[in-house]
Structure 1
Amino acid sequence: MADRRHADPSRARWGRAGLILALLAASAASLHVLLEGASWWVATITVMFLVLLAASVTRTFARGRAWPTVAAALTLPATLALLFAPGTALLGIVPLGGTWTAWGDLLIAGEMSILRQGIPAQPVPGIVFILALAGGALAVLADLLVQTLRAPALAAIPALVLFAVPVVVAPSRSDAFWFLVAAAVYLVLLRPRGDGTGRRTALGAGAVVLTGAVVVPVLLPDVTSAPDPATGSGAQIGVNPILDLGDDLRRGTEVRAFSYETDAAEGLYFKLTTLDDFTGDRWEPIDARERPENTLDDIGDPAGLTPAVARDPVSTAVDIGPLIGRWLPAPYPPTSIEGLSGSWFWEPEALSVRTDTANVRGQDYTVESLSVRPTTEQLEQAPDAVQPGMLDMVALPEGMPEVIAATAREATGAATNDYQRALALQSYFRGGEFEYSEDAPVEEGYDGTGAEVIATFLDERAGYCVHFASAMAVMARTLDIPSRVAVGFQPGLPEFDDEGELEEFVVTTHDLHAWPELFFEGVGWVRFEPTPGRGELPEYEAATADDPATPDIDESQPSAAPTPSPSLSAPQRPDEAPVTGVADSAVDLRPLGIGAAIAAGVIALLLVPAILRLVVRLRRRRSVRDGAPDAALAAWAEVTDTVIDTGGQAPSTETPRVFAARIGERWVDRGWTDDEPSTGAADRTAARAALDRLVDAVERASFAAGGTARVDFADVERVRRGLRSALDRRGRLAATFAPRSLLRRWNP
């Protein structure tokens, strides 16, 4: 009975580790009200499992109390590297400089995607990485509290951190079911264990939680219904102007972002912000500092605009729907804004309006802005030379693909001034050789705004507004024309009252857009529209840019439409933004593949000890079969290892005969008596006889003259069967898949 009592502390620790995993898994499952699918949950509990496994294995064999926490903390970055950035890490698990860069990009992408998406959100890699990182860190904390500090009551802290997320983000959608499940597991974790009942309860509760966390979210109904684009009910939409708009444009459901009424003659473009620093990998804002002194009652003058250029004042009342974010939609250039709640300020270069403490959602405000009307002559006569203050706006990193500059020179060969070159670039993209596609960049792997992406886009000739805007802006810089990328919304669609009078414009998520702005001295920043089939061409461009050789392009429609005003003609929205299709494949297929791959990896990892132990046993059997000089010693080594695997001890100080006698006593302790037949009686009889023969053989090999003895490996198998017959099912599984004898090499 001593062996069994000796094993109890270790088994209790493993049981507590299982309960910690079950508690955290149930807590993480509560996030299903915020996220689609199950891939994020599989990735999160995989990281938790490996972290807790590392801590438990180390705790079993290490003497110091700190080593399990160290092992868990080191396993976390190794697992994150393996799952999210294996190509940047040494051997796929040791983080290097590129790994930290990749993690930083994922954190930024995840944070911005959280701001951009509605509920339930798609589990993009950035969001999954954040969850996996948080889950792994909470697993390290929970193991430290429960196992090392022996304070299981404190396990509620990491669990409540996970439960707090849906409560804070969407309290009306919180799921009490998973809270009750986690509470049940928590009570089991607190329960004193004086016998095997606690372990059996823990294993049962863990199995129920892990199974339910996979099955129940699939069976639960969707947490939202399809919203009405006119009202925007039932969803929140977040917009991140810095990252690609591909996910937003591919959003399955069209949701109202805001509506506006204006005294302008036509619908207005609403800018969120501009990206003016091209790093080679992406477009970024040059300066994003908070400027509380820039109050909205008097916004600064737009850069480069002189009194010689005509302009008209425009007043616009805006009603924001379920849009979330820190940038305020406003026509460019704004002169003042009234009615906002919270602290807002304007950025001097872009005149974008931003907040670091409030939110755009639900805002109702009035924007005073200017409708700038330069003439074609003013644009063509603008100086070609780059002004000193515009050097940053023509800067490009080293190592740019040559195809970008070469294509720009080819497209603008006949132009004689910067404005004509800009129109030539615009016509190059709208001339019919390029097509609008939201799927092609994803399918072909060139989604984004970097230099290499642009080079591929120019070759593939298919993309969406981000590609067209980024390509034209970079190509303009190769021609020394200052440029930047603007992100915001197209004018939206007009809505009329019962008498046919224009009532308001409604802007939805399908109106999200990016476009290039080029700078002309004396006029300022001028909007261009290179994306075919999207947007509207300003009047000062339409007459010059319209190419009769391309009648299939929609750029001439506003002036030709038989309506009182261009604003009353419905702008084209791309057919490439289907309500269903892309989202279905992203949700239903990829998680299955990711989950299957992770499951296969975990299973393979769990099988490694069993495979190594099998190799050792087969090597010893071959040594015995071939009659090697050390055959008896090899057979005896297999016997002692089998005893260790089945929960016993094999001290090196014991002689084989004393060892065999102790094993016989162990069998008697477990009910193996001659006068009380048992199910394993036959195995017991054969095992004891075989053990006696093996003792005789190893003594002859060790002490007899010549040092050799004949041995049959079948006797080893008989002893092995006898030892395993004394175990219950769980013990046999542990002996097979977690053989303790393998650790004798590292823990003598």
Structure 2
Amino acid sequence: MSADLRPSAATRGRRPRSSVRQDWALSGALLLLLAFSLGSLSVLLTGGAWWLPPLLIAGLVLAAAGVVRVARPGRVLPLIAGAAALVCGLTLVFAGDTALLGLVPLEGSFERAGELVREGRISIAEQAAPADVTTGISFLVALALGFLALAADTFAFPLRAPALTAVPALALMAVPVVVRPGDFDAVFFVLTAATYLALLQLQRRRREPVRAFALGASALVLAFVLPGAVPSPSAAGGPGASGAASIGINPVIDLGQDLRRPNSTLAFTYTTSSTEAVYFKLTTLTRFSGDRWEPLQVQTQLENTVVEFADPPGLTDAVARTEVSTTVEIGDLAARWLPVPYPTTSIEGLEGSWFWERDGLAVRTPDANARRQLYTVSSLSLRPTEEQLDAAPSVSTPPQLTAVPDNLPENIAATAVEVTRDADTDYDRAVALQSFFTDGEFRYSEEAPVDGEFDGTGMDAVSEFLEVRSGYCVHFASAMAVMSRTLEIPARVVVGFQPGQPQFRDGEFSHFEVTTHDLHAWPELYFEGVGWVRFEPTPGRGDRPDYRAETTPDDPSTPEVDESQPTAQPTTAPTRAPVELPEDEATAGAPLGGGADASGPLLGAGILLGAVALLLVPAGTRVVRRRRRLRNVRSGAEPATAAWTETLDTARDLGIPIRSTETARVAAGRIAQGLPPDAQDAVSRLRQSVEAESYASTRVAPSPEDVDAVRDALSRLRGLGERLLAFLAPRSLLLMLPGSRD
């Protein structure tokens, strides 16, 4: 073999190295690509600095891989360096106090990582977009971006396939498309596409603007078409979908989706000493922005222990009350908000750190979970009289309790005024509003808002709901609360559960069961001296409170007791023992908030198998092509061409640069370099057979054994990592792309 055909040291089974400056420019372009792709998540996450930790981690990964690549070129070592930088970077940012020198992870660091993963999963499950970025969510985003940075670096350098760097970018940009199809950030998409086109040019020796433009245009078309082709989450919901995925920070957003699921899920069971229906509050939505109802931003206040609660706002001793004890056993309700009656006075038996919020006395946790909790709640059953409610004075309350947007649709306030024109007091107005919704003109429907495209809690949805007069609890609660505010009555929306259904065993009452179909929203209105009072404007749902009930006549034989007044003494209704949930009942159905259910392991296994199958698609395609060619070698019309093409693709997969413009003799010289003599002879025979088939009248039959011998010899010259890359991501498949060149 002539010396002029011998490949240079730079091409002996390795990627041809560009200059150091070009490598660093490409790494910078990768970081910019990931940064702009990450920006597309801004429609899902609130705050201005949540992107800093993920970008820091991605930058460390790319920098570590780049430094090692300059010092010692190769495929495996830069990948290892990038993975190490990912682990150390996450440790530094999120668990520095548990690590050696704040950088090297120890056992406590991995425990912290597990806690952050759990915290992040719960936060994602609880919150509706746009979500507040907790430490757990930040950790998950940083972890994901670090892995995507590793993948992008691998595509751009070891595989020399910069076109595949679009995969990590599209993985990020697909998230908002699926979660919120209507909120697509075109600015970040254009920036990402432009960076991607520039990145393609950086990796190429020859500029190919036509091809780059074609790839970029195809990506643009795909990205703009994809949102319309992907079903929205609500459309995808079905029997197997996870239920109540957004219980927590803003659960009202997806409550309708949960109610529409055909299969309900057991949320919790309870027993109670109350003789009246017990509503369970999860959270209170006080702030109305015009677009949605939201809770106030509450900081963790662990000093507000659940051992003793503060007095309910506005409640005085003049209001009759009964002490109630309720024992609750949670099923698979994976949420940070705890279902409790209002107003709660104390809780016993909870595991983890829990605190109550001053705004609505809702109970939440910074790091625990409601799932599988067993606790006993002491609460008050309040019985204000009509006189107390009518006499409630108008007082100065925080502006946010009566605030409505300046551009509120006119029909909302006008309807409120019309409905309450004959009312004299705020309580009369509240009762008139409640009756307006429940006296027959409005219809309960979980589908009408979806069909009419007003499924939400904002002022436009309320305005449309008042015209259509059909919706579900979210619309009734939001409408009554907003209309009350236009009348200067403080109002808010509560999300929680209805009382559920009584269960019997052997003909005897056993306990109440509450399912996802009992999820509910209702308004609370504020009356000074009484506090927050529940109303029920949703027809056919829940228990409608009636504070105008007739009083008991005073018994003249007991002048020391006025029986006409409600008693403030506790009732003697027995407290029933807590019910142990059977294992099959406790895990039946889809979970709340993403908690594990009976189908969880199967779903996880299915996702894992799907990911593995997707990973093996290129390898499977390559195996099929190889077998088809070997069949042609044995019995095809052009056996030598098939054998030679397979040999060339094997060399390409293993990192030997083979160009389609090279002659068979030049390519054979590249392939045979470094092979043992018998393998070099096999390369020579394959080259002679394809030359004879192409140019000579006498053909030389190729041997499938020669093809296998060359393949085995080339593989033995490569390390395990290179062989694995060749199998999982064969470069020869890139030639299948339209317009591809070597």
TM-score with structure 1 setting the length: 0.50
Alignment CA distance shift 1:77-1:11 (3 Å): farther
Distance 2:380 2:690 in 1: 101
Q: By percentage of residues, which structure has more helix? A: 1
- Measured against aligned partners, the alpha-carbon deviations of 1:203-251 in whole angstroms (never above 9, x if no partner) come to xxxxxxxxxxxxxxxxxxxxxx999xxxxxx999873252321232233
Q: How does 1:48-63 map to 2 (within 5 A)?
A: none
Aligned partner of 1:139 in structure 2 is 148
Alignment CA distance shift 1:274-1:77 (3 Å): same
Is 1:447 paired with 2:452? Answer: no
Alignment CA distance shift 1:236-1:457 (3 Å): closer
- Measured against aligned partners, the alpha-carbon deviations of 1:146-196 in whole angstroms (never above 9, x if no partner) come to 97699xxxxxxxx9xx9xxxxxxxxxxxxxxxxxxxxxxxxxxxxxxxxxx
Distance 1:542 1:4 in 2: 101
Aligned partner of 1:537 in structure 2 is 544
Alignment counterpart, residue 492 of structure 2, candidates 474, 478, 484: 484
Alignment counterpart, residue 428 of structure 2, candidates 394, 397, 420: 420
Distance 2:259 2:515 in 1: 11
Aligned partner of 2:581 in structure 1 is none
Aligned partner of 1:346 in structure 2 is 356
Q: Which amino acid aligns with 1:647?
A: R
Shift of 1:306: 1.6
Q: Which amino acid aligns with 2:410?
A: E
Distance 1:263 1:534 in 2: 23
Which structure has more RCO (C-alpha within 8 Å, separation ≥ 6)? 2
Aligned partner of 1:335 in structure 2 is 345
Contact 1:273 1:486 in 2 (8 A): yes
Q: How does 1:246-265 map to 2 (within 5 A)?
A: 246-265=256-275
Alignment counterpart, residue 326 of structure 1, candidates 313, 321, 336: 336
Structure 1 stretch displaced more, 334-343 or 443-452 = 443-452
- Measured against aligned partners, the alpha-carbon deviations of 1:424-475 in whole angstroms (never above 9, x if no partner) come to 2212222333222223333433322222222232233332211221121111
Number of corresponding residues: 447
Q: Which amino acid aligns with 1:678?
A: A
Percent identity over the alignment?
A: 47
Q: Which amino acid aligns with 1:315?
A: S
Contact 1:237 1:323 in 2 (8 A): no
Shift of 1:334: 1.1
**SS in structure 1 opposite 2:465?**
helix
Is 1:522 paired with 2:529? Answer: yes
Contact 2:249 2:295 in 1 (8 A): no
Q: Which amino acid aligns with 1:139?
A: L
Contact 1:326 1:355 in 2 (8 A): yes
Is 1:411 paired with 2:419? Answer: yes
Alignment CA distance shift 1:137-1:459 (3 Å): farther
Structure 1: gaps (5+ residues): 15-58, 89-95, 118-126, 151-158, 163-224, 228-233, 545-564, 566-578, 581-594, 600-644, 650-661, 684-728, 741-748
Q: Which amino acid aligns with 2:148?
A: A
Is 1:378 paired with 2:388? Answer: yes
Distance 1:364 1:664 in 2: 76
Is 1:680 paired with 2:682? Answer: no
- Measured against aligned partners, the alpha-carbon deviations of 1:345-401 in whole angstroms (never above 9, x if no partner) come to 211221112221222222222211111111122212222x3x223432112233222
Alignment CA distance shift 1:671-1:319 (3 Å): closer
Structure 1 stretch displaced more, 258-267 or 447-456 = 447-456
Alignment CA distance shift 1:310-1:74 (3 Å): same
**SS in structure 2 opposite 1:299?**
coil
Shift of 1:13: 5.5
Distance 2:12 2:452 in 1: 52
Contact 1:488 1:514 in 2 (8 A): yes
**SS in structure 2 opposite 1:304?**
coil
Distance 1:226 1:664 in 2: 59
Is 1:292 paired with 2:298? Answer: no
Aligned partner of 1:41 in structure 2 is none
Contact 1:468 1:531 in 2 (8 A): yes
Distance 1:116 1:251 in 2: 19
Q: Which amino acid aligns with 1:739?
A: R
Alignment CA distance shift 1:497-1:13 (3 Å): same
**SS in structure 2 opposite 1:453?**
helix
Alignment CA distance shift 1:311-1:143 (3 Å): same
Q: How does 1:436-475 map to 2 (within 5 A)?
A: 436-475=444-483
Distance 1:289 1:675 in 2: 77
Q: Which amino acid aligns with 2:296?
A: I
Structure 1 stretch displaced more, 305-314 or 279-288 = 279-288
- Measured against aligned partners, the alpha-carbon deviations of 1:475-534 in whole angstroms (never above 9, x if no partner) come to 111110000111111011112232x44322111111111100000111111101111211
Is 1:398 paired with 2:406? Answer: yes
Aligned partner of 2:520 in structure 1 is 513
Shift of 1:406: 2.1
Aligned partner of 1:308 in structure 2 is 318
Alignment CA distance shift 1:272-1:145 (3 Å): same
Distance 2:310 2:41 in 1: 48
Alignment counterpart, residue 502 of structure 1, candidates 495, 498, 509: 509
Contact 1:250 1:438 in 2 (8 A): yes
Distance 1:82 1:337 in 2: 42
Aligned partner of 2:287 in structure 1 is 277
- Measured against aligned partners, the alpha-carbon deviations of 1:585-628 in whole angstroms (never above 9, x if no partner) come to xxxxxxxxxx9xxx9xxxxxxxxxxxxxxxxxxxxxxxxxxxxx
Q: Which amino acid aligns with 2:125?
A: I
Aligned partner of 2:659 in structure 1 is 647
**SS in structure 2 opposite 1:679?**
helix
Alignment CA distance shift 1:334-1:677 (3 Å): closer
Q: Which amino acid aligns with 2:659?
A: G
Contact 2:314 2:527 in 1 (8 A): yes
Alignment CA distance shift 1:68-1:542 (3 Å): farther
**SS in structure 2 opposite 1:466?**
helix
Alignment CA distance shift 1:340-1:128 (3 Å): closer
Aligned partner of 2:217 in structure 1 is none
Shift of 1:271: 0.9
